[in-house]
Amino acid sequence: MTLTAKPAAAVSPAAARTRIGLVTLVASAVLLALGRLMTTPGGSATERLHQMDGTDVRVTASALLTILGFALLIPGLLTVVGTIKSRGATLATVGGGLVVLGGVGMSVLAAVDLGTLAATHVGPIASMTSFVHQMDESPGILGITALAVIGYLVGPFLITLAARRAGVVPRWLPWTTLRSWSYSR
């Protein structure tokens, strides 16, 4: 008696996209956690410049991991949005739009660290501090910050709430996204 292997079941394109999307969601979480672990504590312009001085590799890696993490968050959460077909679909779509807005905005804000890092290589310190302070108060940066925070905090909550309404996640899951906000501050 000869045993033969069964041919592997073909994976539909939709199932493959879903798997890839869910992998990006997990990868996003890992990259964002690593980026967060490597970041500086923050503070005033002067404090941030002192924290970043001489830490080029760490700050660059932190910013790049964070940017990539937010970039991967977008297709990951949009994959979840795509699985919600009935009840909650409109709420998920709104949440998905906010996630895109938040992911792009947070990536831009993470890139600001690269500008701050570059400022550590110029002198005098008063000029560097003034530059970073002006960047912090830039109307464009302030606008991006508001949109990024709204998109990043509200979007995932709306998506998980929509998934709950569709019956695809446990009842408690949307509320854990609210609880995680207190940890991200």
pLDDT at 168: 84
As a whole-number percent, the residues of the chain with pLDDT over 90 amount to 72
The reported pTM is 0.84
The CB-based long-range contact list for 6-10 (8 Å cut-off, 24+ gap) reads none
pLDDT at 185: 47
Q: How many residues can be counted in the chain?
A: 185
Tens-place pLDDT, residues 57-111:
999 999 999 999 999 999 999 999 998 988 899 999 999 999 999 999 999 999 9
pLDDT at 173: 84
pLDDT at 124: 86
pLDDT at 169: 83
Tens-place pLDDT, residues 130-153:
999 999 999 999 999 999 999 998
Q: How does residue 172 score in pLDDT terms, banded at 50, 70 and 90? A: confident
Tokens of 121: 């290589």
Q: How does residue 179 score in pLDDT terms, banded at 50, 70 and 90? A: low
Q: DSSP for 47-107, please give it.
A: HHHHHHTT-HHHHHHHHHHHHHHHHHHHHHHHHHHHH--STTHHHHHHHHHHHHHHHHHHH
Neighbours of 137 (CB within 10 A): 10
